[in-house]
A and B are shown apart, each in its own frame.
Chain A
Amino acid sequence: MTPEAPSIRSLPRTLQADALTPAALEAVHAQTLTVLEEVGVGVGGEAMCRALADAGAEVDLSTKRVRFPAGMIEKALERSPRTYVLAARVPEFDLAIDGQHSYLAVDGCAAEILDHETGERRPSTKQDLAMAMRLADALPEIGILWQPMSARDMPRKSQSLHELHAQFANSGKHIQMMTAVTPEVARGVVEIARVVAGGSEALRRRPIISAFECSLSPLMYEDGALEAAQVYAEAGVPCGFVVMPISCATGPATAAGTLVQSNAEILAGITALQVLVPGAATFYGCCATVMDLRSGAAACGGPEDLYLQMAAAQLARNYGVPSSIGTFATGSKIPDWQAGVENGLSGFASVLAGADLMCGAGLLFGARVYSLAEMVLDAEIFNLLHYLTDKSAMSLSDSIAQVIESVGPGGHYLSDKHTLQNMRQQWMPKLFDRLSWEDWESAGQPGPQELANERVRSLLSTHEPPPLDDGVEDEILRIIDAFERGDGGNEDE
């Protein structure tokens, strides 16, 4: 395993800033422990409650409330590995989660797509998902695939499995499941991943998929979320916990308050997982935002989000658990000024905070609409940040005084040898407009969306994803078929 897969661009961790002072970090941690110990977390399943009680939690079975002593949390954090590999179907796309690199995911999971050909917003299909995966496969900036949108034309029961099928068939990159959140569907997912990986042991050795579960903020794990996490972990599939609280609605009104609650929910999830499957690879996920006070909608993209991104990633670093941080989640409806500002700052915040996974590229309208144009625009922001964090491009050569001397006062660098040798280090935007005014006019005054659509078309017209091995696709379809008929997703077949 190479430490940095060549064909996927990652951000080296060379810049770092802390949103929380050491004292603030300590206060957040202390208040979190108080919440976990005194308020506790609601846990749906009775068997799960009992397992947690056996491991030292104080459990009230009548209310299904689980209170975690501090020692239990600490032990779980010790058990959680700091580094691991998120493998990919194509080994060159393996990702080293090593605390030294940030990777970009395709975001998910929208219910609609902004069609790049017609400009129309419409319900998304399996075909759309497949197309988005092919595009993501072509973009070196994308390291991980969430399900960007729902395969709404597929049977409800097996929708997640169809999504996984479209993903495996159209990209060789690592897939992270966000829509398979019940133990039954999780078992279906694992079954498919085993076929693609070449068996249960192969999947355990090289987890080509991972997953995450969400809390039901405030402070609940309901409806099989922890049980699904257990299914993944037992199969050797890394499973994280991602919270999505909304300040003023499902989280306290202050950003710092929402941070404490988020921290408590994530640590509760991780602790439960480490009780069930000690040593399981997991991650610390936070996609927090605020409620728009007028409409009640999730705002997505404001300064509170930036603070929460930075503070959550800092906490994860401090706990020694890899992080997955909500990034590029503009509230805007089209790829416009607002989207550019929100996502530019959001990307920068996650880089500074040292996020391991940044999720992710391509969503508009507060995670409700997917846009392929936005995916390539977000990738472009990531690319810009890549340049900024890649210290080699910015480093000073000892001989620069000589170069300056050779040009001298009043000269120019235009055709200087040093320029000819080094100019290709300069960042070359693919989607930022640097045309002359005249050229821009004769090109029809293209905006970011037009430029991005053009790039989407060109990538889609040429890129061929690495095919699946012979027979694998048939096998996947067979599993989905069995699942639909009701005899799939069973325990240990």
Chain B
Amino acid sequence: MSDLLKSLQEAILTIDEETALKVTQELLDSGMEPEEILESGMTEALLELGRRWNCGEAFLPEVVAAAGIFERCSAIVEPALMAKADRKVSDKAIIATVKGDLHDLGKNIVGAMMKTVGLEVHDLGKNVPTEKIIEAVKELQPKLIGLSALLTTTMPEQENVIKALEEAGLRSAVKVMVGGAPVTQEWADRIGADGYAPNAPEAVRVALELTQVAA
């Protein structure tokens, strides 16, 4: 691996945004393929951070910060990537906290962790109306939707989203994964969701499983 690629990884792992952005640009200028920067540099660093997090060496704030740097580095390589016809596309996922619910910490963490396994995550935010989710599904055609609800009073919104997907004829095109403190596997089964996870690492596992099945 080139030294520059290594220092890109290092910069992401140490949350040094300035260096990460600079090195990404340098790599691109040096003529390296954008896919390689993305995969061997940026994604590899996030995967490593995920591994460190799993064994207790890295903490969540680092993962979330690194995922942010990843996104801004992506913006640098993206134009070059889009210019290529034979580009490999990563699986898209949408995540949102449902309508009426302002709790977004858990959703943010799940989103950041999903990025560490190479999913292209679109975060719609919190208190997101069902219609907005449907619109986003139409526009982005993701393989997966992750819905977060932290209140017993907003959990039914998860069911509403699933119903709306059915009504819009989109249900079979996308997998739905639900979560949030009061949500259980039983609830997920009852409302016809495809997956449930009680925490972020498990959410990542389920997300991968669901997107691979969908592939």
Contacts and interface: CB of A to CB of B under 8 A. Distances in A.
Contacts of A156: 153, 156
Contacts, number: 40
Contacts of B182: 111-112, 123, 368
Interface residues of B, number: 17
Contact of A152 (B59, B106, B152): B152
B124 interface: no
Given A294-B56, A294-B60, A295-B199, A111 B106 contact: no
Contact of A294 (B59, B153, B181): B59
A249 B107 CA distance: 12
Interface in A192-243: 216, 222-223
Nearest to A111: B182
Given A150-B152, A152-B152, A293 B105 contact: no
B59 A293 contact: yes
A296 B153 contact: no
Interface string B35-69: 00000000000000000010010011100000000
A111 B60 contact: no
Contact of B152 (A111, A222, A223, A291): A111
A468 interface: no
Nearest to A292: B60
A222 B156 contact: no
Give the interface SS of chain A, mostly helix, strand, loop or mixed.
loop
Given A293-B61, A294-B60, A249 B152 contact: no
Nearest to B110: A296
B156 A291 contact: no
B109 interface: yes
A248 interface: yes
Interface in A93-134: 111-112, 123
A431 B102 CA distance: 40
Given A159-B153, A222-B102, A296-B105, A291 B60 contact: yes
A249 B104 CA distance: 10
Nearest to B201: A295
B189 to A, nearest CB: 14
B200 interface: yes
A246 interface: yes
A329 to B, nearest CB: 15
A34 interface: no
B181 A296 contact: no
Contact of B200 (A112, A159, A296): A296
A380 B53 CA distance: 40
A250 interface: yes
B152 A368 contact: no
A245 B162 CA distance: 32
Contacts of A246: 105
Interface in B103-140: 105-106, 109, 127
Nearest to B105: A249
Interface string A244-260: 00101110000000000
Interface string A267-296: 000000000000000000000000101111
B106 A296 contact: yes
Nearest to B153: A156
Interface in B186-205: 199-200
A296 B102 contact: no
Contacts of B56: 294
A361 to B, nearest CB: 21
- Pick the most buried of B53, B105, B106, B127: most chain A CB atoms within 10 A of its CB: B105
Interface in B135-166: 152-153, 156
A223 B153 contact: no
Given A248-B61, A368-B181, A296 B109 contact: yes
Contacts of A296: 60, 105-106, 109, 200
Nearest to A367: B181
Nearest to B187: A123
A225 to B, nearest CB: 10
Contacts of A111: 152, 181-182
A216 B102 contact: yes
Nearest to A248: B61
Interface string A150-167: 101000100100000000
Contacts of A150: 152-153
A250 B105 contact: yes
Given A111-B182, A222-B102, A250-B105, A293 B60 contact: yes
Nearest to B100: A223
Contacts of B105: 246, 249-250, 291, 296
A291 B53 CA distance: 15
B15 to A, nearest CB: 14
A152 B105 CA distance: 23
Interface in A126-182: 150, 152, 156, 159
B111 to A, nearest CB: 12
Contacts of A112: 182
Contacts of A249: 105
A112 B155 CA distance: 14
Interface string B61-102: 100000000000000000000000000000000000000001
Nearest to B102: A216
A294 B57 CA distance: 9
Contacts of A159: 152-153
Contact of B102 (A123, A152, A223, A294): A223
A293 B109 CA distance: 11
A249 B112 CA distance: 14
Contacts of B109: 296
- Pick the most buried of B152, B156, B200: most chain A CB atoms within 10 A of its CB: B152
Contacts of B127: 223
For the complex of A and B, 9 pairs with smallest distance between CB atoms: A111-B182, A293-B59, A150-B152, A296-B109, A296-B60, A156-B153, A152-B152, A111-B152, A249-B105
Given A159-B152, A296-B200, 9 more contacts: A111-B152, A123-B182, A222-B102, A223-B102, A249-B105, A293-B60, A293-B61, A296-B60, A368-B181
19 contacts: A111-B152, A112-B182, A123-B152, A150-B153, A159-B152, A223-B102, A223-B127, A248-B61, A250-B105, A291-B60, A293-B60, A293-B61, A294-B53, A294-B56, A294-B59, A294-B60, A295-B60, A296-B106, A296-B200
